[in-house]
Structure 1
Amino acid sequence: MTSKILRRVCVSVATVAALSSVAACGGSDEASGSGAKNGDKSPAAAAAVSPIAALKKVQQKSGGAESAKIESTVEMGTTMSMTMTGAMDWSDGITGDVTIKYTGGTMAEAMKQMSPDGTMRTVYLKDAYFANMGDGFAEAIGGKHWIRYGYEDLASIAGASGEVLKDQMQGSTPEKSVESLLASGSIKKIGEENVRGVATTHYTGTVDVAALSEKTAGLDAAQLKEFKEQLAKTGITKETVDLWVDENDLLIKQTSSADSANGAVNSTSFFSDYGSAVSVAQPPAGDTVDFKEIAGQAAQTAS
């Protein structure tokens, strides 16, 4: 396996991690202007709460829960499809332990060269994201199974898109799903629906990806121009986000969908067991290689 292929797969892993980052959390609505009383769950009270006011409460409650279990599926055109299960904690930065299984597409075929069943364990820590790439990767890289992606390194290596990746991976909490929909300015309440036996309220909106990234990633004018150019190559401009919220103002389900140059990009996430303990351990240093090292090897090979 060449260093160029290794680097391409490793970059893809980081990109997929950012795209599939879980989202939802904090922000109260003290000035919502609604006439609903605290704890009043009647239909009349629910109708009196605007979608913006309601989602600000969801942002506050989901974020304040500080942890949750996650189940997700992601499809990215012909590139890949995957499932993701695990738990995330956002009480003090992002930590989590998540298992990803690549189920289809060109990405799955590449991953199966490293892990026969396409399964990869990932660990989120406050300063970096780690991925266990499997035995095939270890054989190609000198016996090390884990690759470390320092968030600051992503920003420096991949330019504007790296800055956005950094922001997304460091902010992969339920709060961000709600935040993105609030930032869209086009929130609509769909109605009451049942999700896995839980009564929920369904909201939807459309997000301008570049505009949102400008706000959340703090891109300057040059970085924003570069990011928009990179985004144009992917074909992604708008993203539709749907949220399902229970009577306790907790996010239960989230979906997002967008069109890209390689086909539709769709994700669905379920959140449960808010507030549960999450145990995370950093992978052994002796079994870990840094992404900067792989990127440097690829650059030397190309020169």
Structure 2
Amino acid sequence: MVRAAAATTAKSSARIDQKIEIRGGGMNMAVAVKGSIDMPGGKGRLTVALSSQGDEKTVFLDEVFTGGTVYFRMPEEKNGDTSWRSLPRDKAESHYLLRSPVNDPEHVLRQVGRMHSVSKVGEENVNGAPTVHYRGKLDHKTLTLRMAEDRRAEFTEVREKVGSDLPAVADVWIGRDGRVVRTRLDCPMGTVGVTATRNLTDLGKPVETPAVPEDAAAVPPNTVGGPLTG
């Protein structure tokens, strides 16, 4: 059921509202990802906002998906560089646990589609509509899917020290139409951890094709990293 729902949802469009909470290391951070995306059409626009505990300033990132390319820029930059950059969508990598490469919404669907030890939690209403709630686990290969090589090596070393997969749990809520309407990924590790909760609404509704940013500089995928881009 979960695999089928993830595959069906990846063939649709959706409005995304995601919050990633990062705990530990003496600082708590939150990343909010909002916008609309036509996943099979490869087009859409997202706005990413990063806030840190004790820091009053929120940092933003604009993203445009079109034609197999992701364009991104910081609309406010300390050094004044607000120019657009670009890279192929399928070449982007993640650098943090439970983060998607350049916040690509399809990535989470791929991960939950691979969860194992799945059980039915029950029936619940999400956004005023009935859903079925499932819970499962994410193995090491799924957690590090499309992760940069150096970061994957770090998490592999942690896994070897622990002697088992990290305690990552995935929750998925599926609507009556067989599409995913909410996901929550959680990996608690003592006083540190990450929780990523995402709501999908307006499923199947048309998404306007965004204008391609002009004069965007193409950059190598291995130079793109940081808490805003995942």
Under a length normalisation based on structure 2, what TM-score does the superposition of the two structures give? 0.73
**Residues 1:150 and 1:230: Cα distance change in structure 2 (over 3 Å):** farther
Matched residue, 2:75: 134
Alpha-carbon displacement from aligned partner over 1:199-243 (angstroms, at most 9, x marks no partner): 1110011101x32267x6599xxx6xx654222578893421100
Q: Tell which has more relative contact order, 1 or 2 (C-alpha 8 A, sep 6+).
A: 2
Contact residue 71 and residue 87 of structure 2 kept, 8 A = yes
Instruction: Work out whether 1:245 is the aligned partner of 2:174.
Output: yes
Matches of 1:98 and 1:152, distance apart in 2? 17
Q: 1:138, CA displacement in angstroms?
A: 5.5
1:205 aligns with 2:127: no
- 1:35-65 deviation digits (Å, cap 9, x = unpaired): xxxxxxxxxxxxxxxxxxx22442343233x
Q: Pick closer, same or farther for the CA change 1:251–1:153 going to 2, 3 Å.
A: closer
Output one character per residue of 1:55-101: Cα deviation in whole Å (capped at 9) or x when no partner: 2442343233x211111111112352022210011124x33201122
Residue 22 (structure 2) pairs with residue 76 (structure 1): yes
- The partner residue of 1:193 within 114, 124, 135 is 124
Helix, strand or coil for the counterpart of 1:237?
coil
SS of residue in 1 equivalent to 2:48: strand
Question: Following TM superposition, by how much is the alpha carbon of 1:154 offset from its aligned partner in structure 2, in angstroms?
Answer: 4.9
What value does the CA root-mean-square deviation take over the aligned residues?
3.7
Cα offset, 1:123, TM superposition: 1.5
Q: Distance in 2 between matches of 1:266 and 1:81?
A: 10
Give the number of equivalent residue pairs.
212
5 Å-filtered alignment, 1:216-227, equals 217=146
State how far apart, in whole Å, the 1-side matches of 2:9 and 2:167 are. Answer: 25
Cross-structure match for 2:227: none
For residues 205-284 of structure 1, what are the structure 2 equivalents within 5 Å? 205-208=136-139, 210-212=140-142, 217=146, 228-232=152-156, 237-259=166-188, 263-279=192-208, 280-284=210-214
Quote how far apart the aligned CAs of 1:271 are: 0.5
Unaligned runs of 5+ in 2: 160-164, 224-230
1:98 aligns with 2:82: no
Structure that is richer in strand per residue: 2
Partner of 2:226: none
Report what 1:59 is aligned to: 6
Within 2, Cα distance between the matches of 1:233 and 1:196? 40
The SS at the match of 1:136 is coil
Question: Structure 1 length normalisation: TM-score?
Answer: 0.57
Give how far 1:195 is off.
Answer: 1.3
Q: Matches of 1:244 and 1:238 in 2, distance apart?
A: 20
Which amino acid letter does the alignment assign opposite residue 37 of structure 2?
M
Q: Deviations over 1:250-281 (max 9, x none)?
A: 11111111136982111111111111222222
Aligned to 2:83: 145
Offset from partner CA, 1:274-298 (integer Å, 9 cap, x none):
112222222121xx34444995xxx
Amino acid at match of 2:66: L
Distance 1:57 1:263, change over 3 A: same
Instruction: Give the structure with the higher percent helix.
Output: 1
Work out whether residues 29 and 50 of structure 2, in 8 Å CA contact, stay in contact via their aligned partners in 1: yes
Which segments of 5 or more consecutive residues in structure 1 lack a partner in the other structure?
A: 1-53, 156-160, 296-303
Larger radius of gyration: 1
Indicate if the aligned counterparts of 1:126 and 1:170 stay in contact, CA closer than 8 A: no
Change (3 A) 1:196 1:284: same
Query: What is the SS of the residue equivalent to 2:105?
Result: coil
